[in-house]
Structure 1
Amino acid sequence: MAEDVFSRPSRQDGTYPRPQLTRPAWHSLDGAWGFEYDDADTGLTECWSAPGRSTSQTITVPYPPESALSGIGDTGHHPVVWYRRDITEEDLAAAAWKEGERLLIHFGAVDYRASVWADGHLLGTHEGGHTPFTLDATAAAKHGPFEIVVRAEDDPGDLEQPRGKQDWLADPHVIWYHRTTGIWQTVWLETVPTLHVTHLAWETNLAAGTVSADIEVNRRPPVGVEIDIVLSFESAALARISTSVSEPRSRVVIPLPSLTNGQGYETLLWTPEHPRLVDAHLTVRTPAGAGDTVASYFGMRSVAVDGARFLLNDRPTPIVAVLEQGYWPQSHLAAPHAAALREEVQLIKDLGFTTARVHQKIEDPRFLYWADRLGLMVWEELPSAYRFSTTSVSRLSREWTEAIARDRSHPSVVAWVPVNESWGVQQVAHDPRQRDFVRALFHLTRALDSTRPVISNDGWEHTDSSLLTVHDYENDPEILSASYRDADAVTATITGIGPAGRRMTLLAEGEAPLLSSAPVVVSEFGGVTYAPDAEIDTWGYAVAESSDDFERRLRGVFGALQASKVLGGYCYTQLTDTLQEANGLVDENRVPKLPTEMIRAIVRGES
């Protein structure tokens, strides 16, 4: 595993929890942990963080306690939960920890507010249920084995908290699902030198023929520190550079002569058809010799909009997308196993889609690795809060900033979506503060990453926006086709009140219409339910009575949008059945409802 992860990170096996910053020395802590509910919230005053305390239950991490794979499967309201696990000599040895180095403990995601102790000493806290955090456990490791305790607070009724599709009611209703409380991504140990890389991001500039590496280390480097960077493609050297660093954060611009060679240019670019990836190795060299060595990868590509067109590598590229909830019946937001993430990406591609709109979830970074490697474009979307306040503004802004920092180097991520359907800003059309916040999120996103389009408010009530997206669940193909047939029809559809009965744009006086500068994408349509074997009441935007009826309805709505001369693309709702929302192309176990080849032909407009 270490060989795949480190020697050729672009061809790793998909188990490493942080695929774009890898080291050979790491060890997963997934598996059995002690577990306790704290419904009365007495654990802090009763010192449950102290070492040696017993628990009444055992949970399998990283599955949330609401899920069956956790071994608990309790979907009730439990606002506070506790975990504990012994870090043994075997764990320390597996992580290759030794005196003089640092031992880090990483959490992929803990929903929502986490506090972590080692042998009763607080290591740190983190707020945000979808983004990673890292704590230093070196002091505890110096004394040998120790115990880790985690307290997770996730108030089911807190509507100011970014929660996405997690229901605040006792039972799932309409389009909201069971909650995911506490740990839901991998927990792992890693050994690093005292001076080590903490963050690494890549940005390619095809026009300039360069790639930039944004490198952060854990402290100000002493005099004489250098960083060596070696880039390779298909094991052949591309570039090598060495530079002195004196600050904790530095940007290194690496010229790539291959990008200025007209004959070799195309053979390096990342596309869904040819998802080419570049391997990178970085070594931190101190006056005492080689220190931290990390491996990474990136893809060279550009995304932009030009009038009504979405461009990939300066070429018009239609968006053929599917809505991806990223929810599994036995494990909820957590993938049931690492291979499921590869299988999900491959399924989306097999069904004919080039893009996944990951909906109301910051997906596991290993999903993005497989999207990078297999060639699937991704829209990344911030999970919504549902009440506007200064608290929700702060929480959403912070978590979105962390998500962009984590994922901005993935070539598969081609668009950012900070708001969906005015969720959490329900009065955006009338409240200047809410409108200012939506604008602020758009510009914050652009400030953090100017290389990708940003959809300000997916579906309707757009402020500034790189793409103008529409949600239209009209299931009569003739009516749907008439709404998008040509430029005049699209203008009529998006001017004023849109298909969902909401204004499409919220522009200030004097601002140019978005239609003149932004591609129009129907980013939700279809939603046809076909679930003949359902054991619960199902929900959808239309209901098919048979497999033949399901096929007919799919051909109708896809064909209506494919006939448009002006649309920039579309996104079908949705990939999988998810609890009561049974409008997937496949069921909750990922079994297609029609032959895969038939769905692919319909999606691609080939039959």
Structure 2
Amino acid sequence: MIDTKELPKEKESQCTSYPRPQFRRDTWIDLNGTWLFQFDDEDKGEQEEWFKGGCLTEEIQVPYVYQSEKSEVEEESFHHRIVWYEKNFEWEPTDNEMYLHFEAVDYSTKVWVNGQFVGDHEGGHTPFSFQIRPSLIEGENTITVRIQDDNDVEQPIGKQSWKSDNFLCWYTRTTGIWQPVWLEEVSPVHLERVRITPKVEDSTVEIQGHIKGHHMPVQLEAEVFFNGEWITTAGVWVKPGKRTVDLKLDVQSDKADFRVFYWSPDTPNLYDLQFKVKDRHHLYDQVQSYFGMRSIETKGEDILLNRERFYQRLILDQGYYAGSLMTASYEQMEQDLIKVKEMGFNGVRRHQTIADRRYMEICDRLGLVMWAEMPSSFLFSTTSMTRMMDESREMIEKHYNHPSVIIYTLMNESWGVNEIYHQPAQQNFVNALYYQAKSYDPTRLIVGNDGWEHTLTDILTIHDYNSDPVSMRANYQSKDKFVDGSPSETSCKQNYARGYHYNGEPVMISEYGGIAYGKSEEGDWGYGSRPETSEEVLQRLEELTKVIHSTPFIQGFCYTQLTDVEQEVNGLLDHNHEYKFDPVKIKEIIARQSSGFVFE
């Protein structure tokens, strides 16, 4: 078995440190901390067999990338395309399997255990795992990782600069391990993964479980609780060799106001869910999870959450932190999202990066809807298309069970498909992403190309950084005129690509504002003229937001942005994620629009 000296013993520490809070087991070990480390600028590590161990001489703090201060790597040049990591751990033999989990590594990863190759993965933002039991030995074991990140425009890199320096709204690069690494010991017969699908229309939840390793009949049992009270239990027997099984549970309760405890930003109710894999004699596996009963759909020009009109008040969150770039602690993520609620927003658009799974758990628990967005590549090619298709599938799988996630954004502002307006091939690619997402997850809404030049989309989303409320209001007076036109004076882009047009979708302003404020330094920027006082910022925010609130056919907005990020100083929070403005005043501006019926 693994050495459990570092295992969390209390529920609170499990919630904050366990990297996969919606699929929890007890036996795991955190591998974050000090690893051996080495640059490999000559690409000689594989030839010299560094994977056999003992060749790396520097140190790094995982999961912080070498470009960040918290990595504790002292290096003036930030442009190393190949890096190596090494970590030792103790293991005592058992009959169980051992999984090595990486939550996110940028970009192309190869892994060895005790000099034996155990697998590889391509993609910089999504989790992956390897079953390493065949490579383990009693006593000390060595994990070696080689990572290559060319940071080129055919990779999905999001907001990472592909130039030698930062520019406009592109920031410091990320190379290597940037989300948690951990080990997990499981029985050879275990629940590999689940899909949890709430069915609001009939007060049930559907479970699709994948069971691994059984050669005799086993039972998958699911038990549902709400606030510690038992709701229901159901189970199904699985034949030998069959891996996928479906289970349906009725979750109605006499104590719920309407028979079901619905999830929404106002009432973020979560059901606890316990899975067991067993037969008549053995309990093989036990997993703790949760789910929320909520639906998301469109009806004409409206977006409906749990069949009620839902007005979205979102803020753009790019997930960058001073000293650690895209890596954050649980406490940092939680404090950010508490502030989002305090300022009157009911959701976040997670922009051009894929969040830590604990971030989604916090959104689930606090009651914030979330738009999950695929990071962009910046060149249209067969290579970039393949990479985007592959990693977007993994993105959907990562987000599927979280009730807070209501929308997938697959492309942003035609990045990577710059000629989409008139190029059928690029239009077809965005449509392929759209249909793939709909096939993998038909329960959520999809935005194909956010901001402008839409092809297939469930929502007409517009990016408009107009800082003049008078002209902005005039541009949205006539819906018939602007939906198939170019209402944004800042982008001057058409809402739809050539050959496509408005089909009655709900309309949202999915980026606006971006008001720069703070000490002016060379190279920093925001949108529009820079106000001189905080009062001027709040006045502009109020005037622009009033335009959106008062336009009846606009179903919500997303303000840019939550925090200052490197050279960009248009956050409502500063670089240290502290308030730049009074949150009470911001809430008075943001939260004037409501949804559904309010019980006093």
Q: Which of 337, 343, 346 is matched with 1:354 structurally? A: 346
Q: 1:491 matched to which residue of 2?
A: 480
Matched, 1:242 2:235: yes
Structure 1 runs of 4+ aligned residues shifted over 3 Å read 1-5, 261-264
Q: Aligned match of 1:386 in 378, 387, 392?
A: 378
d(CA) in 2 for partners of 1:189, 1:106: 6
Aligned partner of 2:585: which letter?
M
Q: State the partner residue of 1:586.
A: 573
State the AA in 2 paired with 1:494. V
Give how far 1:590 is off.
Answer: 1.2
- The answer for the alignment partner of 1:139 in structure 2 is 134
Amino acid paired to 1:61: V
Q: Deviations over 1:418-454 (max 9, x none)?
A: 0101111111112111110001111111111111110
The correspondence of residues 409-448 of structure 1 with structure 2, limited to 5 A, is 409-448=401-440
Structure 1 residues 558, 552: closer, same or farther in 2, change over 3 A? same
Q: 1:24 to 1:434 in 2, by over 3 A?
A: same
Task: Provide the rounded CA distance (Å) in 2 between the counterparts of 1:66 and 1:439.
Answer: 36
Q: Say which of 343, 351, 359 aligns to 1:367.
A: 359
Match of 2:184 among 187, 190, 193: 190
- Superposed, 1:44-55 pairs within 5 Å as 44-55=46-57
2:165 to 171, 184, 188: 171
What amino acid does structure 1 have at the position aligned with 2:555? G
Residue 22 (structure 1) aligned to one of 24, 27, 40: 24
> Is 1:342 the counterpart of 2:329 in the alignment?
no
TM-score (norm 1): 0.92
1:540 to 511, 526, 530: 526
Q: CA RMSD in A?
A: 1.8
Whether the 8 Å CA contact 1:484–1:567 is kept in 2: the answer is no
AA paired with 1:13?
A: C
Q: Is the CA contact 1:465–1:514 (under 8 Å) kept in the aligned structure 2?
A: no
Classify 1:555/1:468 alpha carbon distance in 2 versus 1 (closer, same or farther; 3 Å).
same
Say if 2:209 is the partner of 1:215. Answer: yes
2:483–2:502 Cα contact (<8 Å) kept: no
Q: Are 1:325 and 2:327 counterparts?
A: no
SS in 2 for 1:366: helix
Amino acid aligned to 2:110: S
Question: Are 1:275 and 1:375, in contact at CA under 8 Å, matched by a contact in 2?
Answer: yes
Residues 262, 566 of structure 1: alpha-carbon distance in 2 compared, 3 angstrom cutoff? farther
Of 259, 274, 282, the match for 1:281: 274
The residue that corresponds to 2:104 in the other structure is 109
Where do 5+ consecutive residues of structure 1 fail to align?
none
Once the two structures are TM-superposed, the CA of residue 531 in structure 1 deviates from its matched residue by 1.4
Percent of aligned pairs with the same amino acid? 36
Letter of the 1:112 partner, please give it.
Answer: Y
What displacement does 1:563 show?
1.5
- Using the TM superposition, give the Cα deviation of residue 308 of structure 1 relative to its aligned residue in structure 2, in angstroms: 1.2
Q: Which residue of 1 aligns with 2:542?
A: 555
CA distance in 2, matches of 1:286, 1:394: 42
Query: 1:31 aligned to 2:33?
Result: yes
Shift of the 266–557 alpha-carbon distance from structure 1 to 2, 3 Å rule, reads farther
Residue deviations 1:223-247 (CA, integer Å, cap 9, x gap): 3211111111111111101101132
Deviation of 1:546 after TM superposition, in Å, equals 1.7
For 1:501, the equivalent position in structure 2 comes to 492
The structure-2 alpha-carbon separation of the partners of 1:167 and 1:222, relative to structure 1 and needing over 3 Å to count, comes to same
SS in 1 for 2:448: coil
Work out the CA distance in 2 between the residues paired with 1:50 and 1:361.
33
Which blocks of at least 5 consecutive residues in structure 2 are unaligned?
1-6, 594-600
* Offset, 1:286: 3.5
Q: Say if 2:297 is the partner of 1:304.
A: yes
* TM-aligned CA deviation for residue 30 of structure 1: 0.4
The separation in 2 between residues aligned to 1:98 and 1:503, in whole angstroms, is 63
User: Whole-Å Cα distance in 2 between the matches of residues 266 and 332 of structure 1?
Assistant: 44
Deviations 1:573-603 (A, max 9, x none): 1110001111111111112221111111111
Deviation at 1:271, TM superposition (A): 0.8
Distance, in Å, in 2 between the alignment partners of 1:522 and 1:29 is 42
Matched residue of 1:550: which SS?
A: helix
Are the aligned partners of 1:382 and 1:418 in contact in 2 as well (CA < 8 Å)?
Answer: yes
State the partner residue of 1:292. 285
Aligned to 1:597: 584
- Judge conservation of contact 1:481–1:563 (CA < 8 Å) in 2: no
Distance in 2 of aligned mates of 1:283 and 1:409: 18
Aligned length: 581
Deviations 1:271-314 (A, max 9, x none): 11111101111111135411011111111101111111111100
State which of 499, 509, 523 in structure 2 corresponds to 1:522: 509
> Could you tell me which amino acid in structure 2 is paired with residue 310 of structure 1?
I
CA distance in 2 between counterparts of 1:126 and 1:86 reads: 21
Q: Look up the equivalent residue of 1:272 and give its one-letter code.
A: P
Partner of residue 404 from structure 1, selected from 375, 396, 401: 396
- Residues 1:263 and 1:193: Cα distance change in structure 2 (over 3 Å): closer
Match of 2:316, as an amino acid?
Answer: L
Give 1:550 deviation, angstroms.
1.4
SS in 1 for 2:542: helix
Partner Cα separation in structure 1 for residue 256 and residue 386 of structure 2? 49
Separation in 2, partners of 1:254, 1:168: 49
Q: TM-score, normalised by structure 2?
A: 0.94
CA contact (8 A) 2:475 2:487 kept: no
Bigger drift between 411-420 and 64-73 goes to: 64-73
Q: 1:8-87 to 2 correspondence within 5 Å?
A: 13-55=15-57, 57-72=58-73, 74=75, 76-87=78-89
- Structure 1 match to 2:220: 227
What is the DSSP-based 3-state SS (H/G/I as helix, E as strand, rest coil) of the residue aligned with 1:60? strand
Change (3 A) 1:507 1:254: farther
Following superposition, the deviation at residue 537 of structure 1 comes to 2.3
Q: Deviations over 1:51-84 (max 9, x none)?
A: 22232x2100000110000102646211110000
Instruction: For 1:254 and 1:230, locate their aligned partners in 2 and report how far apart those are by CA, in whole Å.
Output: 9
Q: Give yes or no for contact 1:67–1:73 (8 Å, CA) kept in 2.
A: no
Which amino acid in structure 2 is aligned with residue 563 of structure 1? S
